[in-house]
Amino acid sequence: MTEKRVPRYNPHEIEPKWQQRWAQDRLYEVHEDDPRPKWYELTMFPYTSGDLHIGHWYAMAPSDVHARFVRMKGYNVLHPMGFDAFGLPAENAAISHGIHPFTWTMGNVERMRGQLKSLGAIYDWSREVVTCLPDYYKWTQWFFLKLYEAGLAYRAKAPVNWCPNCQTVLANEQVVGEGLCERCSTPVIRKDLEQWFFGITKYADELIDFSHIEWPERIKTMQRNWIGKSEGVEIAFGLEDGGEFFVFTTRPDTIFGVTFVVFAPEHPLVERLTTAERRDEVARYIEWARRQSDIDRTSMEREKSGVFSGSYAINKLNGELIPVWIADYVLMSYGTGAVMAVPAHDERDFEFAKRFGLPIKVVIAPPDWAGEDLAESYIEPGTMINSAQFDGLPSKEGMEAIADFIEEKGYGGRKVTYRLRDWLISRQRYWGAPIPIVYCDRCGIVPVPEKELPVLLPEDAEFRPTGESPLKYCESFVKTTCPNCSAPAQRETDTMDTFMCSSWYFLRYASPDYKDAPCDVAKLRYWLPADQYTGGAEHATMHLLYARFFIKALRDLGIVDFGEPFIRLFNQGIIVTEGQKMSKSRGRVITPDEYVAELGADSMRAYLMFIGPWDQGGEWDDRGIRGIARWLNRVWHLVLDGGKGEHPADQAAVKELRHITHKTIKRVTGDLDRFRFNTMIAAMMEFTNYLGKVGEERSVELATWQEAIDALLLLLAPTAPHLAEELWTRIGHPYSIHNQPFPRWDEELAADEEFTLVIQVNGKLRDRIRVPVTITEEEARELALSRERIKAYLKDGECTRIIYVPRRLVNVVVK
Ligand SMILES: [Zn+2]
Ligand SMILES: [Zn+2]
């Protein structure tokens, strides 16, 4: 019987111990006077929903690993954490359980902070930010005032998306699928309300310029499409009564093919254009259309609907009279609310013309077209026909020629339009930052003076699902005096969209307790912009776009001196079970706390990174996490028990171990640099297995063994910070491993041994290349065939066979 000298790996003992020690020593607190270069690693802060779920862990553990890695590379790393704490769920909890939103939210913050601490991350908790606390939302309100002064916040009556169930206005981004409420899936309807908007469209052009940031192509494309810039011509059509109206088109080359025009049902001219005998039918249609969502209305799958107004418009280019239709596939909010219809060259117009028997006139001839009826619209370029003096021009040139003609004649001009709308920030809800505005009968809209901020949320509001803000019924809140003339006045009762709170939280981390301004300028200059941002791709057209707009606006106001908040962006994927997103209703929810309690945070961290490429996510597998726990257990015993005793060195074994050690350092470093966590874990596992073999063979002396073990622990430190710290101190190194530099590799030692691969064609030497000894047969074949010299021989004949002699040659047989 061998004596059991080595203690068991017990994460429950070592994890809380080190967490406590790190906190006590303020190991991860950062300061601006640090001589190291700064690095701001930001991860999206969680919403205070109540529990940290597996998605949070998947977002936060790998980002912490990256932040720790950068820290060991010698940077002064800020990796803060906070809570996105305003929003509907808190208010809904208040309505259904009678708990005050503040109590509910702060209880969740407490619980989630505890769970986040169990992760063992380097969060500097002295910088925590909670958006629902007055010392935070005071500044959210201050930013509102700044935007208001700059003319970037304004009030307007606007049709809004209204969820009849949540009884609230939704931003376009919160309407999902077939026009459903993002939160409760109720079909969204339209309603007119006075609302506050931010002028994000003023920044549309700058927002499609990504030249100063390194973001994934996918997210840039989503933002570009969401902003939807299109260049074209705005042109007037005449009316029979002498009036006119404008349409916007990106295809001025097709203007001679207009056979009808279509107005959105909400267009102000509709009433005037509807003839007496068409009035009833038009009214019925408009009433029906009001109940449809924008998404339904513009869906390509839905059968087109519409109604003839009885009136005609005049195409100024050829004097033709064309019927005016009203149809809901045209939206008032896009372009001018009226479109010229060219059924021959537009898919939707074609469908509409077919449905209602309207003429289809070809003005861009498809290649080989012989005058027959079109089976579908032809939207490609071609040669202009039936277009008077423009006949014969290629349509591309025609666009410019017709645009010039329209400008010369004064019918209209070139114009750029955007799909992006201004950002609607009013919410008819309690649990948000109150909009700091007062309405006075004499003075009108009066901003609350800065020195009176914050406008506090009253504690005694009643929560009733009325469809209006609970603040509206709270007299102590509503009744105030005008800051201007001291007459009795009323407060704005809407609160701000919570996306406003999250558009600047990353600035507050730089100086979370600063009292005189939202940020201490010197600290802001030091930390911002964030060097690396990580979070979910679902935020592409909301948070990630709003925050970019916000920073550009603050730059123009002289508040910050940079124009992009996040230099680099990485979006993690999601964890699924049985191929499905986890959901409480299906009962397939993995509770991270249970696994942390059973296997430890280090196993959880390592497993989540091993599950798949981080940007793709992966399938949760219980056996997988147990496998990881066994691996960490093997590391434990290897470090404490392996390679013991003095033994003579086998020079070949020493050389090989040093090579593998340095090669592993190189692999792990490269993988961490590129967020390739799964292959990083695989590299460390291979290294562990290899060390296990060396330890058993006792073929290397202690110095080489120790170099390898030290490297393993340092490589493991970002991933399994507790285990690495424990083992590091147990083998006699000074605390803390997390203050050690990340190991460096020696390029010569890391390089694979090479040999000269001879390449023959039909048995004759034609080329030689130095290749690593680890080259596979397939790699050798591919390499040989890719050589220019060999390709030359392949031109005259066909390669029928390739002979490979390992570590010697490739012979390409050509006939
Ligand atoms: Zn809803
Ligand atoms: Zn007044």
Give the distance (Å) from ligand 1 centre to CA of residue 133: 26
Give the distance (Å) from ligand 2 centre to CA of residue 148: 18
Residue 570: how many other CB atoms lie within 10 Å = 21
pLDDT of residue 3: 46
Q: What are the residues whose beta carbon lies below 5 Å from ligand 1 (ion)? A: 163, 165-166, 181, 183-184, 186
Q: Tens digits of per-residue pLDDT, 223-237?
A: 999 999 999 999 999
Sign of CA dihedral 666, 668, 672, 677: positive
Q: What average pLDDT score do residues 401-416 get?
A: 96
Residue 83: pLDDT over 90: yes
Give the distance (Å) from ligand 2 centre to CA of residue 441: 7
Q: Pick 181 or 313 by higher pLDDT.
A: 313
DSSP string over 284-351: HHHHHHHTS-HHHHH-SSSPP--EEEEEEEEETTTTEEEEEEE-TTS-TTSTTSEEEE-GGG-HHHHH
pLDDT of residue 791: 86
The DSSP symbol for 799 reads E
Residue 705 Rama label (left phi>0; alpha psi -120 to 50; beta): alpha
Confidence band for 408, pLDDT divided at 50, 70 and 90:
very high
Which residue in 343, 324, 357 sits closest to 254, CA to CA?
343
> 313 with 333: CB under 8 angstroms?
no
Give the distance (Å) from ligand 2 centre to CA of residue 472: 20
Confidence band for 2, pLDDT divided at 50, 70 and 90:
very low
Give the distance (Å) from ligand 2 centre to CA of residue 434: 20
pLDDT of residue 405: 96
Q: What span, in angstroms and rounded, lies between the C-alpha atoms of 91 and 75?
A: 42
Give the distance (Å) from ligand 2 centre to CA of residue 478: 15
Residue 1: pLDDT over 70: no
By percentage, how much of the chain surpasses pLDDT 70?
A: 97
pTM: 0.83
Q: Which among 379-388, 571-580, 801-810 has the top mean pLDDT?
A: 379-388
Confidence band for 770, pLDDT divided at 50, 70 and 90:
confident
Q: Tens digits of per-residue pLDDT, 644-653?
A: 667 778 899 9
> 713 with 726: CB under 8 angstroms?
no
Q: What average pLDDT score do residues 85-89 get?
A: 91
pLDDT of residue 586: 64
By percentage, how much of the chain surpasses pLDDT 90?
A: 74
Residue 441: pLDDT over 90: yes
Q: Tens digits of per-residue pLDDT, 9-55?
A: 999 999 999 999 999 999 999 999 999 999 999 999 999 988 888 99
What are the angstrom distances between the C-alpha of 395 and each of 53, 232, 363, 377? 56, 14, 9, 15
pLDDT of residue 757: 92
What are the angstrom distances between the C-alpha of 735 and each of 79, 727, 728, 729? 21, 10, 8, 6
The ligand placed nearest to the CA atom of residue 167 is 1
Give the distance (Å) from ligand 1 centre to CA of residue 186: 5
Q: What average pLDDT score do residues 249-258 get?
A: 96
Q: What span, in angstroms and rounded, lies between the C-alpha atoms of 748 and 658?
A: 11
Confidence band for 295, pLDDT divided at 50, 70 and 90:
low
Cβ contacts of residue 56 below 8 Å, gap of 6+? Answer: 46, 592
The ligand placed nearest to the CA atom of residue 442 is 2
pLDDT of residue 645: 66
502 CA to centre of own chain = 13
pLDDT of residue 466: 60
DSSP string over 15-81: HHHHHHHHHHTTTT---TT-SSPEEEEEEPPPB--SS--HHHHHHHHHHHHHHHHHHHTT-EEE---
Confidence band for 342, pLDDT divided at 50, 70 and 90:
very high
> 102 with 132: CB under 8 angstroms?
yes
Give the distance (Å) from ligand 1 centre to CA of residue 537: 22
Q: Tens digits of per-residue pLDDT, 513-523?
A: 999 999 999 99
Tokens of 367: 């290649």
